[in-house]
Amino acid sequence: MPAKRVIPCLDVKDGRVVKGVNFKQLRDIGHPVELARRYDLEGADELVFLDISATLEARKTRLDWVREAARQLGIPFTVGGGVRDLEDIRNLLRAGADKVAINSAAVANPPFLEEAAGIFGRQCIVLAADVARDPALGWRVFTHAGKLRTELGALPWLERAVDLGAGEILLTSIDRDGTQDGFDTELLMAAARLPVPVIASGGAGTEAHFQEALECGADAVLAATLFHEGRLPIPRLKSFLAEHGVLVRL
Amino acid sequence: MITLIDYGAGNLASLEGALDRLGLDHLRAERPDQAAPQGTLVLPGVGHFEAAAKALRKAGWWHELPQMVAGGRHLLGICLGLQLLAEGSEEAPRSSGLGLLPGLVRRLGPGVKVPHMGWSRVRARLAHPALPDPKGGWLYFVHSYALEAGPETNYVAEHGRSFAAVQGRGRVLGFQPHPEKSGAFGLLLLERALLWTGEGPRGPREVACN
């Protein structure tokens, strides 16, 4: 068994790291590569950059900071946000991203996953899914940064995505994102049956929340604000997890 | 001068970043005639065995690499690069490997998540002049197939079963993990391997020679 991974997430808008609550209220926190370097040195196992820039111009310039991240980081990283076609994937991988996260484009056109995995290998194709619970229908998939509800049930979609070629799932609970009330452990338990690694995202507030998510079957845990604001330093989190019997890289 | 074999299947940017941090000179070569006239060859690789073998054949590397090694060059394989050095892979049953390392590459599992993605510990099995005792050090892996551990395996790792994490023979050394993505320990391994192949840091050595 590989170690459970701790992954800081950097939401990047127009070349700056920002963070919102429930996908809203953005605040500027710093330069992506500077922050990433800090996390690398603190013992983060991996990084996720989600580019939430709206303009085509900003999407193009992101390759500059992706290149710089590849040069400066000694740990792997994933880049997502607005990945629409094979050219986007090729550019990000060539710039030095280890994995690419695909969200809305996979929902709109599921065979895109298959095509991408066929060309680049499934190990670099991460399916990002934003999920919220509907009282009547259960977990539903949302797209477009959590704004658009789709007709897809979360678990059938994840299973299909894995069949098509996703090598990893980045599973965000919209209900919990930014609340610091803990991860959606029921969702994680259901997703743990998938044959590929699952990254739990949304809701981290305390060390115990991370432990809970990992014990519910998540392979990795992701958070942003908690790390960015320095409220939970990564070394402290990893020592806590190790003391509680979770296998982590120290 | 380190030659990075650029056949469209590998994260060269990260590898170059790591070599820069080590202060080692490197260049990219798409074809054998673009390789540095001497120095270490590095075969990176991500993706499908067959596709990679095909690209290497097309560029002329498949034919040249064994001869370059026989002629005295050192060759490091990383990830799929290591697998291509083996005798063959279950991923491409009709194709053979370069045969520079003994053993076959087999699919991981069943009973574990595949790909094996993340940090795993390595243990020493057979001493190698380039490699320190890993003392349970962590390295970053991303792969679905692995070289079977054998008598010439230097480091082993586990994912469902033991497999060869690092294996060398003569002037050839293969890494299944990504040392360039494995933090300080990975960088140390990369440095040791390249010092062993005869590469040296730029600045200090030149100063010493003056």
Backbone angles phi, psi at A27, to 5 degrees: -125, 140
Is residue A248 a part of any domain in this protein?
Answer: no
For residue A250, being part of any structural domain is answered with no
Q: Which amino acid is at B176?
A: Q
> What are the pLDDT tens digits along chain B (210 aa)?
999 999 977 779 999 999 999 999 999 999 999 999 999 999 998 888 998 999 999 999 999 999 999 999 999 999 999 999 999 999 999 889 999 999 999 999 888 988 899 999 999 999 999 999 999 999 999 999 999 999 999 999 999 999 999 999 999 999 999 999 999 999 999 999 999 999 987 654 444 443
The dihedrals phi and psi of A169, each to the nearest 5 degrees, come to -120, 125
Query: Which one of B64, B74, B128, B180 is the catalytic residue?
Result: B180
Specify the pLDDT at position A57.
76
CB contact under 8 A, B46 and A76: no
Q: Is B114 on the interface with A (CB under 8 A)?
A: yes
- The domain that holds A33 is classified in CATH as 3.20.20.70
Q: How many domains does chain A have?
A: 1
Between CA B141 and CA A170 the distance in angstroms is 18
CA distances from B49 to A48, A92, B100, B163, B178 (A): 27, 22, 15, 18, 17
Residues of A labelled catalytic: 11, 130
The verdict on a CB contact (< 8 Å) between A1 and B159 is: yes
pLDDT, residue B80, reads 95
- Cβ contact, residue pair A74, B117, below 8 Å: no
B23 touches chain A (CB under 8 A): no
For residue B118, give the nearest of A67, A93, A219 by CB distance.
A219
* Minimal-distance CA residue of chain B relative to A71: B17
**In Å, how far are A130, A134, B86, B106 from B150, measured between CA atoms?**
44, 53, 12, 13
Q: How many Cβ atoms from other residues are within 10 Å of residue B192's Cβ?
A: 16
Q: Which residues of B touch A48 (CB under 8 A)?
A: none
Percent composition of chain B: helix, strand, coil (DSSP 3-state, to 5): 30, 30, 40
Q: Is the peptide bond before B93 cis (omega within 30 degrees of 0)?
A: no
A-B contacts (CB, under 8 Å): 95
Residue B26: active-site member: no
User: Is A52 inside a domain boundary?
Assistant: yes
User: Within a domain: residue A53?
Assistant: yes
Is B64 known to be catalytic? no
pTM > 0.80: yes or no? yes
Predicted local confidence at residue B204, as pLDDT: 47
Query: Which among B112, B137, B121, B116 is positioned nearest to B192, based on CA atoms?
Result: B137
CA B7 to chain centre: 15
- Nearest-angstrom CA–CA distance, B182 and A45: 9
From B116, B178, B191, B199, the catalytic residue: B178
Q: Which of B79, B116, B128, B199 is catalytic?
A: B79
Q: Within chain A, how many helices (H) and strands (E) appear?
A: 10, 12
Q: What pairing do the DSSP bridges indicate for beta strands B153-159 and B123-124?
A: antiparallel
Spatial separation of the C-alpha atoms in residues A195 and A191, rounded to whole Å:
9
Report, as ranges of residue numbers, the positions in chain A whose pLDDT lies below 70: 20-25, 54
Sketch the domain layout of chain B as residue ranges: 2-209
Q: Tell me which CATH homologous superfamily contains domain B2-209.
A: Class I glutamine amidotransferase (GATase) domain (3.40.50.880)
C-alpha closest to that of A120 among A154, A97, A153: A97
pLDDT number for residue B202: 64
In this complex, is the C-beta atom of A167 within 8 Å of any C-beta atom belonging to chain B? yes
Domain containing A100 equals 5-243
The label of the residue with tokens 């940090």 reads: B119
CB contact under 8 A, A2 and B184: no
- Does the distance separating the beta carbons of B115 and A196 come in below 8 Å? yes
Tell me the chain A residues in contact with residue B140 when contact means C-beta distances shorter than 8 Å: 75-76
Q: For residues A68 and A56, what is the distance between their CA atoms, to the nearest angstrom?
A: 20
**Residue A119 included in any domain:** yes
Alpha carbons within 13 angstroms on the beta-carbon side of residue A25 total 6
